[in-house]
Amino acid sequence: MRTVHSLRELRTILRGYRQQGKTIGLVPTMGNLHEGHISLVRKAAESADVVVTSIFVNPMQFGAGEDLDKYPRTLAEDQEQLEAAGNTLVFAPGVEEIYPEGLAKQTQVVVPEVSDGHCGASRPGHFEGVATVVTMLFNMVQPDLAVFGEKDFQQLAVIRKMVRDLMMPVEVVGAPTVREDDGLAKSSRNGYLSAAERKIAPAVHRTLQETAQAVAEGRTDFPALEIEARDKLSKAGMRPDYFNIVNSQTLKPATEDDTEITLLAAAFLGTTRLIDNLSITR
């Protein structure tokens, strides 16, 4: 496995692979990798000859007061995990390589509608940062496919719409959420939780499951279910950001006629913001 830091190095190596007729898969990450990330690498390897994992803490997708400065940079540990998983190439650029003229002068990609609401409402500008850097990575790597985790459900929807609308020749693959034994979705931010908070954290997934069961049993009073779910999160010791029941395709509020539904949840536990989701078919 090789690690490169510049676009020139990246393109030189990938040109060689393409000349050999090899297919290329991309796994965009911000590093501080865990089992969930590694599952994306393995999924990419199922369909691509070459797997490129990018490690870049993207400042454009962090808002004021968020954890950009303290976000863990663990390149050496990440490299060890990726090599063990059979990753081919690591692209770990610096900020100056991605944004040579600075953020203020950077062209941005805006994906309308699916970026609105949910995390988009709580983190203004976040999805513009995600869409911009993913577009750049697609242009730099020119992958045949790219793998993203379903834990970030709205992010995956944003990327799929962006690829569709801009007619990008990239297959976007969603990979199932990897969980701890108690149901907590694996996340780099779980490391911020105290021991006491870690015991409370599975309440997010438990609330999703209980709400999904209520829907499966025939309840369609979705606004009332959302209120009940937020109340459960509060009683567990969290500060709910949102709990929304939506159409899985549009991410608009679900109606009685919708058959594909996704439950989206975000809550603060101490200073840590946890997100999760659960999709169901009625």
Q: What is the pLDDT of residues 33-59, one digit of tens each?
A: 999 999 999 999 999 999 999 999 999
Q: What is the pLDDT of residue 122?
A: 93
Q: Mean pLDDT throughout 76-80?
A: 97
Q: What is the pLDDT of residue 115?
A: 97
In the chain, what is the straight-line distance between the N-terminal and C-terminal CA atoms, in Å? 45
The amino acid at residue 120 is G
- Categorize the per-residue pLDDT at 67 as very low, low, confident or very high, splitting at 50, 70 and 90: confident
Q: What is the pLDDT of residue 37?
A: 97
64 has a pLDDT exceeding 90: no
- Give the helix/strand (H/E) hosting 51: strand 50-55
Supply the DSSP symbol for 186.
P
Rounded to two decimals, the pTM is 0.95
Phi/psi of residue 51, nearest 5 degrees:
-115, 120
Class of domain 2-175: alpha beta
- Please state, in angstroms and as integers, the Cα–Cα distance from residue 242 to each residue in 101, 112, 121, 181, 212, following that order: 36, 20, 10, 24, 16
Residue 280 has a CB neighbour count (10 Å cut-off) of: 17
Q: Do 249 and 256 meet the contact criterion of CB atoms below 8 Å apart?
A: no
27 has a pLDDT exceeding 90: yes
Q: What are the extents of the domains in the chain?
A: 2-175, 188-281
- Categorize the per-residue pLDDT at 65 as very low, low, confident or very high, splitting at 50, 70 and 90: confident
Q: What is the pLDDT of residue 70?
A: 86
257 has a pLDDT exceeding 90: yes
**Catalytic residue list:** 37
Q: Mean pLDDT throughout 118-144?
A: 97
Q: Do 36 and 178 meet the contact criterion of CB atoms below 8 Å apart?
A: yes
- Categorize the per-residue pLDDT at 129 as very low, low, confident or very high, splitting at 50, 70 and 90: very high
- Please state, in angstroms and as integers, the Cα–Cα distance from residue 204 to each residue in 32, 57, 144, 167, 253, following that order: 22, 26, 35, 36, 20
Place of tokens 């379903």: 150
Q: What is the pLDDT of residue 221?
A: 97
Strand partners, 243: 265
CA atoms of 19 and 233, how far apart (whole Å): 53
CA atoms of 160 and 240, how far apart (whole Å): 27
66 has a pLDDT exceeding 90: no
188-281: CATH architecture: 2-Layer Sandwich (3.30)
Q: What is the pLDDT of residue 117?
A: 96
